[in-house]
């Protein structure tokens, strides 16, 4: 009997390079509030967290009320950027991402999923912009779960697909993805082309690091074979 396998992907920084839009939207939001703008590196360091948690981490002394205001400002600014520049449609997929999904999707024993700090609306835009929806059997967003690295998203993905944690892998570019995967009992693959450096991925418990999507199938088969 074939054992069901599950591969769950982060989106921003893993499948899609949306950093320019994230940084600009965050800077516009902070500018509207008259708050000192964070650096690009600071903004990218919190990508993957749910929006409220991300802003609270960027400005630890900001009041809860102001965090809520900043979060709404960010949403408003991202919608404006989407109208001005195309948003997710103008954010490219990383080299080899589509090819990797196309190679994994037809495998009968493999299911694919998404676990992202994006809101459902943002994920829907990304799906539609890049024709990605067809690849994924489970879709977990910040709207329905605590922020990464809480394992709620991955627990739900297991429940929806029927896969076991021992045969599940989380693939992402941040320490939050690695920590979430470990908390859910998943194996983890850190991708080095995203927003956190190799050292943070290793420190967060990545089982394997890959430098290109071409390396993903072999990395997955290695982890699935040793589960």
DSSP code at position 89: G
DSSP code at position 49: B
Residue 113 φ/ψ, nearest 5 degrees: -145, 175
Residue 9 φ/ψ, nearest 5 degrees: -110, 140
Asked if 42 and 58 count as a contact pair (C-beta separation under 8 A), the reply is: yes
Residues written for the chain = 227
Query: Per DSSP, what are the bridge partners of residue 208?
Result: 189
Tokens of 200: 């943070």
Query: In sequence order, which residues have a C-beta less than 8 Å from that of residue 30 and are 6 or more positions away?
Result: 36, 37, 38, 70, 73
Known catalytic residue at 177 = no
Known catalytic residue at 12 = yes
Coil/strand/helix, residue 110 = strand
Strands of 125-203 (E only): list them.
Answer: 138-140, 168-172, 187-191
CA distance 14 to 191: 7
Kindly name the residue from 10, 17, 53, 207 that is annotated as catalytic: 10
Residue 187 φ/ψ, nearest 5 degrees: -80, 165
Which residues are designated catalytic? 10, 12
């Amino acid at each position: 009997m074939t054992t069901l396998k599950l591969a769950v992907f982060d989106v921003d920084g893993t499948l899609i390079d949306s950093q320019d839009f994230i940084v600009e939207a965050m800077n516009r939001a902070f500018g509207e509030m008259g708050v000192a703008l964070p650096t690009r590196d600071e903004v990218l360091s919190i990508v993957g967290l749910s929006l409220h948690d991300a802003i609270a981490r960027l400005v630890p002394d900001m009041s809860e009320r102001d965090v809520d205001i900043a979060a709404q400002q960010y949403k408003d600014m991202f919608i404006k950027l989407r109208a001005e520049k195309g948003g997710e449609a103008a954010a490219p997929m990383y080299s080899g991402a589509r090819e990797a999904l196309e190679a994994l999707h037809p495998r009968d024993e493999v299911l694919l999923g998404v676990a992202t700090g994006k809101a459902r609306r943002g994920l829907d835009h990304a799906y539609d912009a890049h024709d990605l929806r067809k690849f994924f059997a489970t879709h977990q967003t910040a709207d329905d779960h605590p922020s990464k690295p809480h394992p709620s998203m991955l627990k739900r993905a297991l429940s929806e697909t029927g896969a076991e944690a021992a045969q599940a892998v989380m693939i992402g570019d941040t320490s939050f993805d690695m920590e979430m995967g470990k908390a859910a009992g998943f194996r983890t693959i850190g991708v080095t082309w995203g927003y956190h450096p190799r050292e943070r991925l290793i420190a967060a418990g990545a089982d394997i690091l890959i430098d290109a999507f071409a390396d993903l199938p072999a990395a997955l088969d290695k982890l699935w074979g040793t589960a």
